[in-house]
Amino acid sequence: MAEEVILLDFWPSLFGMRVRIALREKGVEFDMREEDLSNKSPLLLKMNPVHKKIPILVHNGKPVCESLLIVQYIDESWVRESPLLPSDPYERARAGFWADYVDKKLYPAMRTMWLSTGEAQEAGKKEFIEFLKVLEGELGDKAYFGGETFGYVDVSLIPFYSWFYALDFSIVEECPKLVAWAKRCMQRESVAKSLPDQHKLRDFLLVLQKKLQAK
């Protein structure tokens, strides 16, 4: 049976980018369907009735939700190409810890930085840089977070690079190793193809920022 792989996605989504990268790392052909989040498709509502959120991977009719779980699912379902998670339980837990850190710390701080104004924005920026420095420390002198090969933590974090590039946010001084790592990741076809055009993303984020800050 031919495999049917549909990705319900929204192009500027950091979480959607993770899934696109993982699928491309594995060489999986997929049908990316762009969702209008103000008018969600019946398929989206059917496939994720609990959270009603993208990204959703629909593999042979069955939905998998939540970006990190989808990346793990992809890694376990298409095992032949490019393993993303280590096989050792301790190293797996360690990778899980840092991906979780990105979701629990980095993402909320980036939202605050993006959507707040004045002092709150400054505080958010400071916190965001602190979190990035922790990640810079974890990366150290390794090529990728897991060592020599591109993997799970890299997939989880690299989408953020597109956002802060678009938001005109430079971390070259504070986190030079992280910047070098991001450039290394961007050389991979899977990443370059999955991250959106910077100008388009910048315009989108600025418009959305004004709309949300005005609320």
Q: Does 53 bind a second copy (CB under 8 A)?
A: no
| Cβ at position 143, least distance to a second copy in Å | 22
Cβ proximity to a second copy, 155 vs 195, nearer residue: 155
Annotate 55-66 with b (16+ C-beta within 10 A) or e (fewer). bbbbbeeebbbb
Q: What DSSP string runs through 60-71?
A: TTEEEESHHHHH
Q: Does 4 bind a second copy (CB under 8 A)?
A: no
Q: Does 133 bind a second copy (CB under 8 A)?
A: no
For the record, the structure tokens of 127 come out as 């916190």
Residue 179 phi, psi dihedral angles, 5° rounding: -65, -40
Q: Does 45 bind a second copy (CB under 8 A)?
A: no
| Cβ at position 107, least distance to a second copy in Å | 13
Q: Does 90 bind a second copy (CB under 8 A)?
A: yes
Q: Which of 15, 24, 72, 150 binds a second copy (CB under 8 A)?
A: 72
Q: What DSSP string runs through 119-180?
A: HHHHHHHHHHHHHHHHHHHHHTT-SBTTBSS--HHHHHHHHHHHHHHHTT---TTT-HHHHH
Q: Does 101 bind a second copy (CB under 8 A)?
A: yes
| Cβ at position 59, least distance to a second copy in Å | 8
Q: Which amino acid is at 2?
A: A
Cβ proximity to a second copy, 113 vs 135, nearer residue: 135
For the record, the structure tokens of 131 come out as 């979190």
Q: Does 127 bind a second copy (CB under 8 A)?
A: no
Using CB under 8 A as the criterion, which residues of the chain lie in contact with a second copy when the complex forms?
50, 59, 62, 64-66, 69-70, 72-73, 76-77, 89-90, 92-93, 96-97, 100-101, 134
